[in-house]
Structure 1
């Protein structure tokens, strides 16, 4: 019953906002259109702005629960699936999500509310990333950079879908996250190339040693993957 009432209030609010504008619509207008009293509205939504973001807290909890099951070894999967939870929520909302998008573009208080919610996601993702990275070099910085990248990738795809610019937002999100998560894997030192070791004794001319190194490098089987050629110069006599 409560969920049904909430849905009626949200639908009524979105319809009225489209018809007469956000500022010109009162809580009383919304309650009357939904067929409930003013008190019923305030039992469910503290302010008129809250009816525009009715499921935000619950969605944030779902995302947090998914991230909480992640580990350092499964960090990438956890981030991808947590982002997918948010996208799936908006896709399920359909036209309501598009109405919200239009409102937040034109109503400053709603835009500020949206930005505040983005920051909450940033803090949530950063918190888990920091725990997963542990004592890795520059862990705090990497956690914040990765969290920002994931949220930016998700929001880019979401906006594209809201504007009707993509027909497959799930695939678009997967591709965007591939770009966003390129810095998550720890950096590895570059492996050295083929090594030539020259061991020489005596006072042999440098040019002679260089010549022997050249011949060793050009000899069959001395290329990369064929071991380390070793040149030894011994004194005559």
Structure 2
């Protein structure tokens, strides 16, 4: 008996079988037989066969929410960028599994619908955060909706390019895409020149920002 968790074995077995036989041709019994577990274990772990396909959205949504919640008014847009990056990195870490999922969702309508529903969850989370950051009034609702959609679409554009084998450095493309996206919604002070910079650092932003302000000659 394998020492690996049943969930990991079920996912591995399912993806291998989907690649070999196709999604429709693979049954739950096929998956449990390959994984060496019973049907009861399968349905305790996944409500349906579809659920084996998709990443744990609840975990990802929780990580995004935590990253956004840890931001300040001044670091909100950086937090949005870094929260979207969490999703991208999750797919990159999956590697071939993410590419198999992409092929399946292109050919199985039920999986495509499930994928769209997942994307909408991410977009709603960004929209709620951005709406609060913008003031939460009726005059900012549309702007928050538009920006949330732009953030998700920019992320998905880079992700699809990587899944199709068209992006050799998806993180670099993501940085460029998010710089452009955030720039669309950043309003400079009248008469001021501005630019949007996306960067990665392991340091706390509350420590980094005062130093950046000093270098730029901005008030703290």
What TM-score, normalized by structure 1, do the two folds share?
0.76
Deviation at 1:138, TM superposition (A): 3.1
1:130 aligns with 2:128: no
Report SS of the residue matched to 1:181: helix
* CA–CA distance in structure 2, aligned partners of residues 14 and 6 of structure 1: 12
SS at match of 2:175: helix
For residues 58 and 136 of structure 2, what CA distance do their matches in structure 1 show? Answer: 31
Matched with 2:153 is 152
Q: Distance in 1 between matches of 2:110 and 2:4?
A: 26
Distance 2:3 2:73 in 1: 40
User: Where does residue 99 of structure 2 map in the other structure?
Assistant: 98
Where does residue 5 of structure 1 map in the other structure?
6
- Structure 1 residues 123 and 137: CA distance shift in structure 2, 3 A: closer
| TM-aligned CA distance change 1:113 to 1:188, over 3 Å | same
Distance 1:54 1:161 in 2: 17
> How many angstroms does 1:136 deviate by?
7.4
Which of the pair has more CA radius of gyration?
A: 1
Question: How far off its partner does 1:69 sit?
Answer: 1.5
CA distance in structure 1 between the partners assigned to 2:166 and 2:183 by the alignment: 25
Deviation per CA, 1:96-138, whole angstroms, max 9, x where unpaired? 0000000000000000000000100110000000011116793
Q: Contact 1:71–1:132 (CA<8 Å) still a contact in 2?
A: no
Which residue in the other structure is 1:221 paired with? none
Q: Does 1:34 align with 2:35?
A: yes
Query: Which residue number corresponds to residue 20 of structure 2?
Result: 19
> 3-state SS of the aligned residue for 2:183?
coil
**Distance (whole Å) between structure 1 residues aligned to residue 3 and residue 23 of structure 2:** 24
Could you list the runs of 5+ residues in structure 2 that have no partner in the other structure?
193-220
Matches within 5 A, 1:65-104: 65-104=66-105
Q: Distance in 2 between matches of 1:155 and 1:54?
A: 15
Structure 1 portions without partners, runs of 5+:
192-237
Q: Tell me the TM-score normalized by structure 2.
A: 0.82
Alignment root-mean-square deviation, CA: 1.9
Structure 1 stretch displaced more, 30-39 or 4-13:
4-13
1:117 equivalent in alignment to 2:126: no
Task: Report the Cα distance in structure 2 between the residues aligned to 1:13 and 1:137, rounded to whole angstroms.
Answer: 46
- Specify whether residues 54 and 4 from structure 1 end up closer, same or farther in structure 2 by C-alpha distance, changes over 3 A only: farther
Change (3 A) 1:131 1:142: same
| 8 Å CA contact retained: 1:72, 1:133 | no
- How many matched pairs? 191
User: Aligned in 2, Cα 1:135/1:38: closer, same or farther, shift over 3 Å?
Assistant: closer
